[in-house]
Amino acid sequence: MLFIGGGFSALLTSARLREKGVASIRIVERGADVGGTWYWNRYPGVACDVVAYDYLPLLDEMNYIPTRHYAQGPEIFAHCQAIAKKYDLYDLAVFQTTVTETVWDGEAQRVRQQPIGHLERAGAACRHAHELVDAARLDRLQRFRGHSFHTSRWDYDFTGPDLERLGNVRVGIIGTGASAVQIIPNLAKHAKRVHVFQRTPSSIDVRDDWETSDEWAAKQGDGWQAKRRAKIVSKLREQADRKGRLRHGITRDEKIRRQENNNIDQMMRIHKRIDDTVNDQATADALKPWYMLMCKRPCFHNDYLPTFNQPNVHLVDTQGQGVTEIG
């Protein structure tokens, strides 16, 4: 069995295949280890946005309880490595290798990778930012004469392990999605100046984070994650059934109206939080999401909005245009 990529998908599926007795499993991964997202993303403040007890795979099987409600990146990466060790996925794994082509072998009736010797060696994990950002169609980043990198290839050599080398540096960060929301408060603590280039504001809700208490952890018996998930699924089904019954017989327009009203209530709460937190009215207004709640991945953070009150932080709102050129 061959997996292209060694992220959560490959790890979880491999574990289930092992349980079914599949012996030969090979992961081919561009990075130098398993983890996928959690291998690549090492930026300051990296953490999951879905409760770790639900998000991390195989917690029952690994007999592991995350240390926080929202686990941080290094803990999730370590969990991925632990899964690969437990399920013997390192033995056949091939790292720093990119699959460039797969070919259907008609005679053998199977797909071959084209050929393993023809794989591009990924080399150092840190690639130039413009290679990654090109995908987002940002032209002419190459013209930028300062130092640049993509957040998923964080350059700690440049910033220092605790961002202490940014004291005299003006930093521009492009985008205000989930990663930027986690990074910006950390940048603002250390950089001389931070310019936040925003295309579309994210919705920022409260982050109820806490350390896992020993008492709570001690109460979780065997199979706690599976039981927790079953409970969530059954609750969601009940909710869907209830909504279905309530909506029975109402028109499509009425359904949409109710959805919109619910959305407005949530967005008003999010807007109020911005008004209550951000001092400068123009900045507060620019930070307000103007779309239906789930149109953009919702974010949860307690330090992001207050960061815009710092004198060294400046929001550059491109009003939906995004950054198109760097001169």
Ligand X SMILES: Cc1cc2nc3c(=O)[nH]c(=O)nc-3n(C[C@H](O)[C@H](O)[C@H](O)COP(=O)(O)OP(=O)(O)OC[C@H]3O[C@@H](n4cnc5c(N)ncnc54)[C@H](O)[C@@H]3O)c2cc1C
Binding site for ligand X (CB under 6 A): 4-10, 28-31, 36-37, 39, 41, 46, 48-50, 55, 98-99, 179
Q: Which of 205, 285 has the CB closer to ligand X? A: 205
Closest to 267 (Cα-Cα) out of 243, 234, 289: 289
Q: In a 10 Å sphere around its CB, with 0-12 CB exposed, 13-18 middle and 19+ buried, how is residue 194 labelled? A: buried
Contact by Cβ (8 Å): 263, 291: no
Structure tokens at 107: 């005679």
CA 210 to chain centre: 19
Nearest CB to ligand X, comparing residues 285 and 293 = 293
Q: Please state, in angstroms and rounded to a whole number, the distance separating the CA atoms of residues 229 and 59.
A: 11
3-state secondary structure of 234: helix
Min dist. Cβ of residue 185 to ligand X (A):
15
Residue indicated by tokens 């969990």: 79
Smaller CB separation from ligand X, 41 or 283: 41
Q: State phi, psi for 197 to the nearest 5 degrees.
A: -90, 115
Contact 204, 301 (CB under 8 A): yes
Nearer to ligand X, 2 or 65 (CB): 2
Q: In the complex with ligand X, which residue's Cβ is closer, 28 or 83?
A: 28
Using a 10 angstrom Cβ sphere, with 0-12 exposed, 13-18 middle and 19 or more buried, the burial of residue 163 is buried
